Amino acid sequence: MNITLDDKIKPAYREVLNRNPGETEFHQAVLEVLESLGPVLVKHPEFADHRIIERICEPERQIIFRVPWMDDQNNVQINRGFRVEFNSALGPYKGGLRFHPSVYLGIIKFLGFEQIFKNALTGLPIGGAKGGSDFDPKGKSDNEIMRFCQSFITELYRHIGEHTDVPAGDIGVGGREIGYMFGQYKRITNRWEAGVLTGKGLDWGGSLVRKEATGYGAAFFVDEMLKVRNNSLEGKKCVVSGSGNVAIYTIEKIHQLGGKVVACSDSGGFVYHEQGIDVELLQQVKEVERRRIKDYAPHYPESKYIAKGNIWEIPCDVAIPCATQNEINGRDATMLIKNGCVAVGEGANMPTTPEGVRVFLDAGIAYGPGKATNAGGVSTSALEMQQNACRDSWDFEYTEQRLQQIMRKIHKLCYETAEQYGSPNNYVRGANIAGFTRVAKAMVAFGLI
Ligand code: GLU
C-alpha cells in the first residue's frame, strides 16, 4: 500500500484492488487521483458522508460484447468490444474508442476513469466514458475495417445516443472509422443524429479543428505553463513521441509557437531531424499513405531513423509524450531532467509511470498531466456537439479561439487549485482536485443514485 495515501482514503483504494483484480492500469489511475484527495475531504467532509470516492471508483455501467466479423479470406474473426460508462454526473457519457490489441477491461477502465476528471476540467457538460476493442487495425484492408466497425456498432448502437453516451476516436480510431460507425448507426436507427458521435467528417456534421484539437491543445497548455514561469516555447528544442493524430498536430502548433520539434516516433523506432520535423511530410507518410515513421527518413538525408531506440535519451528543453500509457518510466524521467528538460506536457493518457511522475514533481519542472494537457480533444468534441445541437458550423479561426480559451481556463483552474490547496506548481494535484470537486458536488446534489 502506498504510504502517500491519506488514512481515510486507504480503505476505498483497498476495495478498488479487491473488486478489480488484475486491472493494473486502472489501479494506477485510481491511486494517482486518490493521492491528491486527502485535503479535499478535510474541506468537504460531506464528500466522505456521501461516500463519493467509493461511488466514483465504480463505473455506472460496463458493457462487454462479442464482435464477430469476416476477414478478406472469408475467415470468421472474433474480437471483444467494450464500453465503460463511468460517470454521468456532469453530462452524457463522453470519451473515445480505442482499437488496439492491448485493449482489455483494465485499459478501458483506466481511460474511462481519467476521462471523468478530464471532462470535468473542461467546464463543459460532459460525463466520462471510454470504449474500444482488442481488434488490431494494423495491416487490415479498408473493407475489413468497415466490416469490423459495422459489427462493433451493431451491438453498441443500443447503448449510445446524443443525450446518453457520445463516443469518439482514440488510438486506432479516426475519421474513417467514425464514418463507418456513423453510417451503420444511421442505418440501424433510421435517425440522422449528428450528436451521437464526434470526430465526424467535415461534410457530415464534423467540426473544424477537432482533428487538430488534442495536439493544438497540448501545445497551448505547455505554452501556458512556460508563461507563468516567464518563459515561452520560442526557440525551445522539443521531443514529441508518437506520430499519430495527437503527435502530428502537437508538432504543427509547437512550430507555430516558435519551438522546434527534432524527433518523433512510432512503435518501431524514432526519427531524429535536427533541422526540425517537416510536418507536411509526416502527414503524408502517416495520415495519407498510412505508412511507418521509418519511411520519413529517406526524404531527408540529414535526418536519421533509429530502430528500437529510446526517444527520451535525446536532450531537449520540452518533452511531449503523445504515444501511449506508461511510455516514460523513472529512468527516462531522470534522464530527461539530467539533460535539462524544463517542461513535460502529456498529450497521451497516463504516459508517465508513477516513478516518472515522482521524478518530475521532485525536480520542480513544469509538468502537465494528461487529464489537463490533452483535454483539448474532448473539449472540441463538446464544441462539435454544440454546433450539432444548433445545426450550425463555425469557422476554423473561431473554433480554434474557443479551444485556446478553454485550455487557458483549464490551466488557470489547475494552477490556482494547486496553490489554494498548498501545493503550488503541482498540476497533478490541481487537476485531480479541481476535476474531482466538480463531479463530487454534482453527485451530492443528485442524492443517492
Ligand atoms: N480520446 C480522446 C481523449 O482521450 C477524445 C475523446 C472525445 O473526444 O470524446 O480525451
- Pocket of ligand 1 contains residue 253 by CB under 6 Å: no
Residue 387 pLDDT > 60: yes
Ligand 1: centre distance to CA 183 (Å): 20
User: Quick check: do 61-193 and 211-373 share a fold?
Assistant: yes
Q: Give rounded-to-5 percent helix, strand, coil for the chain.
A: 50, 15, 35
Q: What's the pLDDT at 316? A: 98
Residue ranges covered by each domain of the chain: 10-56, 61-193, 211-373
Confidence class for position 321, pLDDT limits 50, 70, 90 = very high
Q: How many residues does the chain have?
A: 449
Confidence class for position 60, pLDDT limits 50, 70, 90 = very high
Tell me the H-state helices in 239-320.
245-256, 279-283
- Pocket of ligand 1 contains residue 116 by CB under 6 Å: no
Residue 4 pLDDT > 90: no
Among the atoms of ligand 1, which is closest to the Cα of residue 95? 9
Query: How far apart are the C-alpha atoms of 164 and 72, rounded to whole Å?
Result: 35
Q: Which amino acid is at 440?
A: A
Question: Contact, 388 vs 232, CB < 8 A?
Answer: no
Topology classification of domain 61-193: Rossmann fold (3.40.50)
Q: Which residue numbers are catalytic?
A: 130
Looking up cell 461511488, which residue turns up? 55
Mean pLDDT of 337-352: 98
Edge-to-edge order in the sheet of strand 318-321: 304-307, 269-272, 260-266, 237-241, 318-321, 343-345, 366-368
Q: What's the pLDDT at 2? A: 46
Q: What is the pTM of this model?
A: 0.97
Confidence class for position 247, pLDDT limits 50, 70, 90 = very high
Question: Contact, 291 vs 270, CB < 8 A?
Answer: no
Residue 279 pLDDT > 80: yes
Name the residue with the closest Cα to ligand 1, atom 10: 378
Question: Contact, 439 vs 117, CB < 8 A?
Answer: yes
Which CATH superfamily includes the segment(s) 211-373?
A: NAD(P)-binding Rossmann-like Domain (3.40.50.720)
HSE, side-chain direction, 13 A CA sphere, residue 178: 26
Residue 146 pLDDT > 80: yes
Residues 6+ away with beta carbon under 8 Å from 377: 96, 168, 210, 213, 214, 217, 246
pLDDT digits 0-9 by tens, 199-242: 999 999 999 999 999 999 999 999 999 999 999 999 999 999 99
Among the atoms of ligand 1, which is closest to the Cα of residue 119? 10
- Pocket of ligand 1 contains residue 377 by CB under 6 Å: yes
- Pocket of ligand 1 contains residue 165 by CB under 6 Å: no
* DSSP bridge pairs for 166: 94
- Mutate which of 110, 115, 384 for ligand 1? The one with the most ligand atoms within 8 Å of its CB, which is 115
Residue 428 pLDDT > 70: yes
- Pocket of ligand 1 contains residue 94 by CB under 6 Å: yes
Residue 16 pLDDT > 90: yes
Mean pLDDT of 62-77: 98
**Integer angstrom CA distances of residue 22 from 62, 83, 324:** 17, 18, 20
Three-class SS state of 206:
coil
- % pLDDT > 90, the chain: 99
pLDDT digits 0-9 by tens, 325-335: 999 999 999 99
Mean pLDDT of 276-298: 96
Mean pLDDT of the chain: 97
Among the atoms of ligand 1, which is closest to the Cα of residue 111? 4
- Pocket of ligand 1 contains residue 349 by CB under 6 Å: yes
- Please provide residue 170's backbone torsions phi and psi, each rounded to the nearest 5 degrees: -160, -155
Three-class SS state of 64:
strand
Confidence class for position 285, pLDDT limits 50, 70, 90 = very high
Query: How far apart are the C-alpha atoms of 317 and 339, rounded to whole Å?
Result: 8
Query: How far apart are the C-alpha atoms of 334 and 328, rounded to whole Å?
Result: 10
Three-class SS state of 32:
helix
